[in-house]
Structure 1
Amino acid sequence: MRNWNASGRISIGASELEYRSIGPAPEAAPTLVMLHEGLGSAGLWGDVPDRLQAKTGAGVFVYSRAGYGGSSPAALPRSLEYMHREALDVLPKVLGAIGFRRGLLVGHSDGASIAAIYTGGVQDHRIRGLSLIAPHFVVEDISVRSIAAIKATYEQGDLRSKLARWHSDVDSAFYGWNDAWLDPKFRDWDISEYLGYIRVPVQIVQGEHDQYGTARQIEIAEEECYCPVDVTMIAGAGHAPHREAADVTLESISGFVNRILTGHGEGALVDAA
């Protein structure tokens, strides 16, 4: 990428992916690559990338996966292995396209699962750590119930109009995600095997009232990971603590990032306090 502090689209395979980059370029500082949730996009992160950049001094890169935000459409129905494809096929190309040299992956929900699959499936020495917000490693009953309920909200309430602000094809974004998770065969989805191959510190940040997952996800990480697992439960927050309790969540994430970078002799470029 020629221009770093910019927004636009990058070509990844047959897709054009919407992106935004903030702060120093990869050759000048570590980079945080942010992976959005199942209904998210680059824009739906709001000011979280800017605040993390300010708190860590790292460069920050956010992008919308195909079918989300302003990116190219995705073929529907999505494969039930769509997160594996994003992790093992698309993400390596994204990292190559931006000239990624070293840094962390920061993922939310589906994005956290994609980050875990990538780091466990590809031994990439450039990845220094993972910050996972409300990750899924297995499918729980609470996940299926909440995803079924949000379908009714989307079709009968105002969720569709709210999401349309963030997606050029909101129906494709919603049903591509919702239909995959509600497919009965998706109940067998399980990525816990990847956790044992992660060789970098992992942070898990979860709202104590997460309506899409329980503490079982954390227990799985603690059982399967051989690397350190740093857990932060956010009081009063649900599935999106970075929006519902932004200050405490971003303090936790930036603190973890700065400790990891300092441990690699790369330290934060700013005082995170």
Structure 2
Amino acid sequence: MSDTEIEESKVGIPGGQVYVKKWIPEFDNGKPPIILLHDSLGCVDLWKDFPEMLSKVFCRVVFAYDRLGFGRSDARSSLPSKDFIEEEASIYFPSIKETLGIDSYVLFGHSVGGGMAINIASQDNDCQAVIAVSAQAFVEDLTIKGIEDAQKIFEQPGQIGRLKKWHGSKAEWVLHAWTDVWLSDEFKDWSLEPAIQNVQCPLLAIHGDNDEYGSSAFPQFISERSGGSSTMLILESCGHMPHKERKQDVISAVKEFLNAIA
């Protein structure tokens, strides 16, 4: 039996209710909680056992939430705007933070969640540190190719069922929220440039050298332009899911990072 306590709730934000899950370790050291931000097709449940592992290893509370339109959160009628990454930081996350009564915190963002974490940290001094895993820093050719390849796979019979398992009737919306926005002409000039220089807290950028959605130019961009101290880790023979493909390496890197800034 797990010795980690789990709490689930719904939080009202502009546009609806979002699902939040909280992991409380048996021994809580009282340090700022870690908040997880999922990727473009992700949700709380797709983190699997990773949040509980973080909670146990670091003796901290861990939060994860489904963005509006994903997982167990309310559906959205329209696709996200081209500014959806910045809007998560300026509109939705602040509501969640306030309702949950969170003061200082550490952000762990995967893929687009990493970009959202950087945008949040650029606006909120309560953020103590950012771990950005496989985060896109801009749109490069490899990003486009990776999304187009995935789009073709999901067009095949039965493939959308993979998303329905996690997002239910919202699965089609989730897919289009990713492909339609990222492949649009309006989004091709998107970049973390406006936000990254305003991040003053310590930052760790982790990236796999075989990431199918972005090259090592992404973590280099993030670490070189961050306004505070930064560390970059490139994992060899690793794709877009380091926290699943190289779980122990990621845990070790986060431990070293957090200990160094303690």
Relative to the length of structure 2, the TM-score reads 0.92
Find the residue that maps to 1:233 and give its secondary structure.
strand
Q: How does 1:95-244 map to 2 (within 5 A)?
A: 95-120=97-122, 122=123, 124-156=124-156, 158-168=158-168, 169-244=170-245
Q: CA deviation at 1:223?
A: 3.0
Distance 2:51 2:36 in 1: 8
Find the residue that maps to 2:109 and give its secondary structure.
strand
Give the gaps of 5 or more residues in structure 2: none
Distance 1:235 1:161 in 2: 32
Given residue 88 of structure 1, which amino acid in structure 2 is its aligned partner?
S
Find the residue that maps to 1:177 and give its secondary structure.
helix
Structure 2 partner of 1:246: 247
Q: 1:40 and 2:42 equivalent?
A: yes
What do the CA deviations read for 1:77-114 (whole angstroms, capped 9, x no partner)?
A: 32111111111111111111111122201000110000
> What RMSD in Å do the two structures reach over aligned CA positions?
1.9
Find the residue that maps to 1:166 and give its secondary structure.
helix
- Matched pairs, number: 256
| Higher mean C-alpha displacement, 21-30 vs 236-245 | 21-30
Distance 2:163 2:256 in 1: 31
Find the residue that maps to 2:63 and give its secondary structure.
strand
Distance 2:129 2:30 in 1: 19
Give the share of equivalent positions with the same residue, in percent.
Answer: 24
Q: CA deviation at 1:158?
A: 4.9
Q: Which runs of 4+ in 1 moved over 4 A?
A: 24-28
Question: Against the structure 1 CA distance between its residues 250 and 159, is the aligned structure 2 distance closer, same or farther, given a 3 Å change threshold?
Answer: farther
What do the CA deviations read for 1:138-163 (whole angstroms, capped 9, x no partner)?
A: 11110011101101111115542222
Given residue 67 of structure 2, which amino acid in structure 1 is its aligned partner?
R
Structure 2 partner of 1:90: 92
Give the gaps of 5 or more residues in structure 1: 264-273
Distance 1:138 1:79 in 2: 16
Distance 2:260 2:188 in 1: 36
Specify which structure has the bigger relative contact order, considering alpha-carbon pairs within 8 angstroms and separated by 6 or more residues.
1
